[in-house]
A and B are shown apart, each in its own frame.
Chain A
Amino acid sequence: DTGVSQDPRHKITKRGQNVTFRCDPISEHNRLYWYRQTLGQGPEFLTYFQNEAQLEKSRLLSDRFSAERPKGSFSTLEIQRTEQGDSAMYLCASSFDLGWQYFGPGTRLTVT
Chain B
Amino acid sequence: GNSVTQMEGPVTLSEEAFLTINCTYTATGYPSLFWYVQYPGEGLQLLLKATKADDKGSNKGFEATYRKETTSFHLEKGSVQVSDSAVYFCALSERSGNTPLVFGKGTRLSVIA
**Contact residues of A with B, CB < 8 Å?**
4, 31, 33, 35, 40-45, 48, 56, 58, 91, 93, 95, 97-106
B73 in the interface, Cβ–Cβ < 8 Å?
no
Q: In whole angstroms, what is the CA distance A98 to B103 when docked?
A: 19
- Please measure, in the bound complex, the distance between the C-alpha atom of A58 and the C-alpha atom of B44, giving whole angstroms: 21
- CB <8 Å contact, A44 and B43: no
A-B contact pairs, 17 of them (CB 8 A): A4-B43, A42-B4, A42-B89, A42-B91, A42-B105, A43-B44, A43-B101, A95-B97, A98-B95, A99-B96, A99-B97, A100-B46, A100-B97, A101-B97, A101-B98, A102-B46, A103-B45
Ranked 10 nearest A-B pairs via Cβ: A42-B103, A100-B97, A103-B44, A45-B100, A105-B43, A98-B96, A103-B43, A42-B105, A43-B103, A42-B106
The contact of A45 among B42, B96, B101, by CB within 8 Å, is: B101
Once bound together, how far apart are the Cα atoms of A67 and B81, in whole Å? 40
Residues of B within 8 A of A42 (CB): 4, 89, 91, 103-106
B100 contact set on A, CB distance < 8 A = 33, 45, 48, 56, 58
Residues in chain A near residue B49, CB distance under 8 A: 100
Q: In the docked arrangement, what's the CA distance between A101 and B91, Å?
A: 11
The residues of A that contact B44 with a CB separation of less than 8 Å are: 43, 91, 93, 103
**Residue on A with the closest CB to B46?**
A100
* Residue picked from B34, B44, B104, most chain A C-beta under 10 Å: B44
B8 CB to closest chain A CB (Å) equals: 10
Cβ A97 vs Cβ B98 within 8 A: yes
Q: Indicate whether A105 sits within 8 Å of B98 (C-beta atoms), given known contacts A42-B103, A43-B103, A100-B49.
A: no
Whether B102 sits at the interface, judged by CB under 8 Å, is: yes
Q: Closest approach, in angstroms, between the C-beta of B62 and any C-beta of chain A?
A: 16
